[in-house]
Chain A
Amino acid sequence: MRAALVVVAAAVAAGCAQAPPKPVVTEEYVVVLPGPDGRTGSVEVERGGARRLLSEPYAASRIGADGQQSALKASEPEVRSTFGAALSALPARPATFMLYFVTGKDELTAESKADVQKVLDELSRRPSPDVLAIGHTDSVGAQELNDRLSLQRAERVKALLVAIGIAAERIYVAGRGERELLVPTADNVDEPRNRRVEINVR
């Protein structure tokens, strides 16, 4: 018995003399942040079958080197000091512009022509920018047809942007059909404001 204690004491002493033992569990830390609009989303933290929802501003979950999980509240200065380098490397949020056409014509409205210049200005402000043109339709007609029509509208805007000097390989197109009505309507409603192309500059 005494011999065993001596062995343990020696082991502890040796442990103290050398580098502390490596933790088996890596320390982990997650914090939910409020968005620019002040609203906070949520993240579900799942660990060993247990789930915890973080949904308040700066709600945090930490797993210590001992494997213990704890809930806590972080602060903005602390997040800035711990995550500053990562946060400052976040790409700029995509900028959104909306382009409208003269009804029944392959021509932008006067207002939208002015917005094209804003798109160009935004492109010049970003490193290695790309453009996503997303076509939308109103709710008149079948969904498959609107999917095709919305993509055609996006392609048309792409052609316009290429014509004013934006490289074609930097422009991506998507068609959302009638899935994202700007003005909510019932099905089969002719609504000009829903016939549009949204531009994301990223």
Chain B
Amino acid sequence: MRTFATIILLASASAVWAQEVGQVKVAKGSVQIERAGQRTPVAVGMAVRQADTLLTGADGSVGVTFSDNSLLSAGPNSALTIDRYAFDSTTHAGQFDASLRKGTLSVISGKMVKQTPGAMRVRTPSTVLGVRGTEFVVRVGDGS
């Protein structure tokens, strides 16, 4: 019984850790977050989790600060997915995979890339960007 309780405690602790990987710090116009098939309007302060997709409308833009201090923001008509995010705050080891299906993205990489250049990858429909630091912008489509 005690073992069982311990397992539940450990599971919930890791779930809390896994839940929030970043926080929305900027949200303008129409922005939604798609999580497990459900779309919710985005507000400043909202947690971003692995597997979330951020969707902006024609007047929308959104900025997120991640736990390793990576900063990502998307302009209008964008679809940005956080495919995988893992970060060890003690060793700074980690992996960050994001994909931009359409729209514009600007990135300032964080502590995990500083520790391990290439730890962050941004995928577009035909390209994989290996991030060695620090600032760059990406556009997919003609912006319409």
Contact = CB atoms under 8 A, between A and B. Distances in A.
A18 B92 CA distance: 54
Nearest to A32: B136
A30 B137 contact: yes
Given A41-B132, A85-B76, A91-B25, A46 B109 contact: no
Nearest to B78: A86
Interface string A168-194: 000010111101000000000000000
Contacts of A174: 89-90
B84 interface: no
Interface in A44-93: 44-48, 54, 63, 67, 79, 82-93
B132 to A, nearest CB: 5
State the main secondary structure of chain A at its contact with B: mixed
Given A28-B125, A176-B90, A41 B71 contact: no
Nearest to B64: A91
Q: How large is the interface on A (under 10, 10 to 19, 20 to 34, 35 or more residues)?
A: 35 or more
Nearest to A177: B90
B94 interface: no
Interface residues of B, number: 51
B142 to A, nearest CB: 6
Interface string A145-158: 00100010000000
B82 interface: no
B32 interface: no
B135 A63 contact: no
B81 interface: no
A85 B89 contact: no
B128 to A, nearest CB: 4
A26 B135 contact: no
Given A86-B75, A93-B71, A30 B129 contact: yes
State the main secondary structure of chain B at its contact with A: strand
Contacts of A115: none
A199 interface: no
Nearest to A27: B142
Contacts of A44: 118, 129-130, 132
B113 to A, nearest CB: 8
A43 B91 CA distance: 23
B26 interface: yes
Given A26-B124, A90-B73, 9 more contacts: A28-B124, A40-B135, A47-B126, A47-B127, A63-B127, A83-B137, A87-B106, A127-B25, A127-B44
Interface of B: 23-26, 28, 44-45, 61-65, 67, 69, 71, 73-76, 78, 89-92, 102, 104-106, 108-109, 118, 124-143
Interface of A: 25-35, 39-48, 54, 63, 67, 79, 82-94, 126-128, 130, 132, 134, 147, 151, 172, 174-177, 179, 200, 202
